[in-house]
Amino acid sequence: METQTVTKRENQAHAKERITGCEAIVRCLLEEGVDILYGYPGGAIMPVYDELFKYQDKIHHVLTRHEQGATHAAQGYARISGKVGVAMATSGPGATNLITGIADAQIDSTPMVCITGQVPSHLLGSDAFQETDIVGISTPVTKWNHQITNAEEIPEVMAKAFYIAKSGRPGPVLVDITKDAQFQEFDFEYKKCEGVRSYKPVPKVDDSKLAEAAELINNAKKPMIVWGQGVILGEAEEEFKAVIEKAGIPSAWTILGASAIPSSHPLNVGMVGMHGNYAPNVLTNECDVLIAIGMRFDDRVTGKLDEYATQAKVIHFEIDPAEIDKNVKTDVAVLGDAKESLAKLLPLLNANSHQDWHNRFKELYQVEFEKVIKNDIHPTKEGLTMGEVLKEINIQSKGEAAIVSDVGQHQMIACRYAEFNKSKSNITSGGLGTMGFALPAAIGAKMAAPEREVVAIIGDGGYQMTIQELGTILQTRVPVKIVVLNNEFLGMVRQWQQLFFDKRYASTEMTNPDFVTIAKGYHIPAKRVTKREELAEAVKEMIASEDAYFLEVCVEKEDCVFPMVPAGAAVSDIRLE
């Protein structure tokens, strides 16, 4: 009798409930633990918004001022929290406005689910009002996408969307739902997805490959590690730290890998790539074993491929088989999750220090310090530099801030000079290089981690691409700190024009509005700094503010970011001036 009662209770618990498709979408979000989503309503998604209104005590919808802002905010949320970011928009232009953020999330491996409304299914293909084939458009820049035309598909598709977005190498997923499917009623039942046939998100670690890797590392005289975001995405920071400390290997980072270990760690030798540090770039072409962990050998990291680490044995730790041998030929490929791979590697490694090899990095750091770093952070010139602004932010935030940077000179300066004491502290647009990323991404990051100081570092050009998101700050009162480094130029393009186009500054000089007045128009406290003696107090005031704060710092107009690997050059041909 007792067994029958238990069975009856179980059946009641799993009983299907008849609801509409639009309510099902919201219920699926709740089942996946979504508490914040970013979006912009419109006709084809209005039924879902109407249903969302009834659940506003459980899901906080953030009305961004542009759909692109919704995707970047969802990215910022995902990057700092490790959760799946969610963005929602209507059909047609609402959906197409998501594409830049989706493409950005795809190349930077950011877990995101985007939901778009679509015209009723009987109008598909008829060029109906605000109809766009968003599935076709988004296919090249999504990890997976699907169009729902029948409400009964919703639970399975949504569960699959979240699973695919966050599993293995993360990425963006788009779910397009026709308006009639939103109104249809069906028997709702939700089961979380735990696997998809033919999709193996995490390859099994091959112990024999680990043994080969360990042998190469143990026998190396000049080993060097380049790590990327895979360490952070795999939550492998502690395992990574244990490996480098035991083996004593100098370790450099890609911009998305920054903050996996603290900037001050003695084995952290700086950033690689076009504007990376001098020592790790030069010594990439001197090391005898190059160990790549969770990075994809992007062209900005490798420079001229046929002159990249040709003298070295290459070991590649990677979760995505498609990245193996895609750009750089590897000698040993270790497929698998970084956390598992590094944990298994650790006991196979011999303790080492490589002191002489470390001294080479220290020697070259001193060269860079004298030629570049000293002038960036302790300038003798009258005008302010971007580097000294970052230095002051480090001082006032004690290196605890999450830095969300846009794209350009300020991005490279932020990556080079920000102090990162915590993981997930460097949030930027890496692979796509999306101007306009930082302001909305900072909003999402602060909402995901309200206990952290979040500072957006933006150039005057990129700032104006998504400046309307100040309205989102006004409405939500999210206390992000915004620093615009204003040189009245599209600085990175201008730098190339100065160095390679005989200073023909074609369409790069900016005539800017009064940024402080604009900020105040959105009721955001604001200040402009033009002199060095004003900087420390202004940054202190910004960090101390419990509300959002806007700080404009007018910096030197024609400063260049060095070091620099010229396009098409080898990484060892890096320029210091």
pLDDT digits (tens, 9 = 90+) for 319-368: 999 999 999 999 999 999 999 999 999 999 999 999 999 999 999 999 99
Helices (H), 14-153: 21-31, 46-54, 67-81, 93-96, 99-107, 134-138
Cα 487 to Cα 237: distance, rounded to the nearest angstrom = 37
The sheet carrying 526-529 orders its strands as 426-428, 402-405, 454-459, 481-486, 549-554, 526-529
Asked if pLDDT for residue 317 goes beyond 90, the answer is yes
Per residue in 99-144, pLDDT (tens digit) is 999 999 999 999 999 999 999 999 999 999 999 999 999 999 999 9
HSE-up of 518 (CA within 13 Å, CB side)? 17
Asked if pLDDT for residue 58 goes beyond 60, the answer is yes
For residue 16, name the pLDDT band (cuts at 50, 70, 90).
Answer: confident
* CATH code 3.40.50.1220 region(s) in the chain: 207-361
Which residues are known to be catalytic? 67, 129-130, 179, 492
**Residues pairing with 426 in the sheet:** 403
Asked if pLDDT for residue 3 goes beyond 80, the answer is no
Average pLDDT of the segment spanning 257-275? 97
What was the pLDDT predicted at 15?
Answer: 64
What was the pLDDT predicted at 490?
Answer: 95
Cα 366 to Cα 373: distance, rounded to the nearest angstrom = 9
- Among residues 143, 474, 424, 411, the alpha carbon closest in space to that of 257 is found at 424
Cα 63 to Cα 37: distance, rounded to the nearest angstrom = 9
7-196 CATH: 3.40.50.970
Per residue in 378-429, pLDDT (tens digit) is 999 899 999 999 999 999 999 999 999 999 999 999 999 999 999 999 999 9
Asked if pLDDT for residue 291 goes beyond 90, the answer is yes
What was the pLDDT predicted at 11?
Answer: 45
CATH class of the domain at 382-554 = alpha beta
Cα 431 to Cα 299: distance, rounded to the nearest angstrom = 10
Question: Using a CB cutoff of 8 Å and minimum separation of 24, what contacts does 312-317 make?
Answer: 312/224, 312/284, 312/287, 312/288, 313/216, 313/220, 313/288, 313/289, 314/289, 314/290, 315/213, 315/216, 315/217, 315/289, 315/290, 315/291, 316/292, 317/213, 317/230, 317/291, 317/292, 317/293, 317/341, 317/342
Cα 512 to Cα 412: distance, rounded to the nearest angstrom = 22
On whether the CB atoms of residues 426 and 258 are closer than 8 A, the answer is: yes
Average pLDDT of the segment spanning 277-296? 98
Average pLDDT of the segment spanning 268-296? 98
* CATH code 3.40.50.970 region(s) in the chain: 7-196, 382-554
Per residue in 489-547, pLDDT (tens digit) is 999 999 999 999 999 999 999 999 999 999 999 999 999 999 999 999 999 999 999 99
Domain 207-361 homologous superfamily, CATH: TPP-binding domain (3.40.50.1220)
What was the pLDDT predicted at 345?
Answer: 98
- pTM recorded for the entire structure: 0.95
Average pLDDT of the segment spanning 452-481? 98
What was the pLDDT predicted at 240?
Answer: 98
